[in-house]
Structure 1
């Protein structure tokens, strides 16, 4: 071999693809639990409204003084706490699924996502930009792999319901304390029930969206595997 020959470099390996079915099942299960949790909140809102406010007034009496809770009000605190914990768990499992399908979309298309990895998390919590970036991240997953296909309508339905659940100060992002929500249930339960219904619908639609995008991406993965393109790793 001549000393002047250029060294042979190994080709850069293609990025590995990640399985998505398991993450999708977990995300759908978490969303089902979240829907049940918010449906339970709606039942308790209705129970409070039907029971009526006690003669002693709302739980928060003002001036930093709270009266003792009734048994129904105390049970609502438990339902609310469990619902909050389930919602946090659902968010984490959803993001784990989204991270997987996003990585696969990048590997399959060979193009960097429109939104960087940081937006996968910050996009949900930063004011104003949280009105469009999370939907953009999800839409990018589909369009990077299927640029010639229309975005599934279920994505837009999910996002519209999600935004409706954030609006009005009675849904996912209300800042009232649990005792203040109880007082609302006594005096104006309809907005609370409407918010509960929207959030349950958003959870159900999100589950349908996950199944739709996962099925489409899995078909592409199945088509890719026999061709010698990037393999699937755990």
Structure 2
């Protein structure tokens, strides 16, 4: 659950934050989640390899794994920042539009052409 729930919670928050009548892709959230999972798996593998390495060649491979995990961790962090910025923007837009009252027509989907 600790690997799946962060994505599920973020997608629920993402969908709830969209202004009514708009659509947004989950691509950014999915990219962040994939890089985060990759960092966890490769980092774990690299650190286990470091502990069990007995030769210089094994240490070299393990160090490469740890370095790759660090790079994917940096990418995951940048994507997390972008997710938070996008989420904040969507919540701000939704707040500025005000509440949708019962019986009011829901606006048509607005397509952003930026």
Give the structure-2-normalised TM-score: 0.66
- The counterpart of 2:83, out of the listed 195, 209, 224, is 209
The 1-side partners of 2:70 and 2:45 are apart by 9
Match runs of 1:24-173 below 5 Å: 129-146=1-18, 149-168=23-42, 169-170=44-45
Give the structure-1-normalised TM-score: 0.34
Query: Aligned pair count?
Result: 94
Residues 1:218 and 2:104 are matched in the alignment:
no
Deviations 1:169-213 (A, max 9, x none): 147xx579xx949x8998222111101101011001100111011
**1:151 Cα deviation from its structure 2 partner:** 3.3
Which segments of structure 1 move beyond 6 Å, counting only runs of 4 or more? 183-186
Question: What residue ranges of structure 1 are gaps of 5+ in the alignment?
Answer: 1-128, 228-234
The 1-side partners of 2:55 and 2:5 are apart by 32
SS of the residue corresponding to residue 130 of structure 1 reads coil
**Alignment check: 8 A CA contact 1:161 1:198 kept:** yes
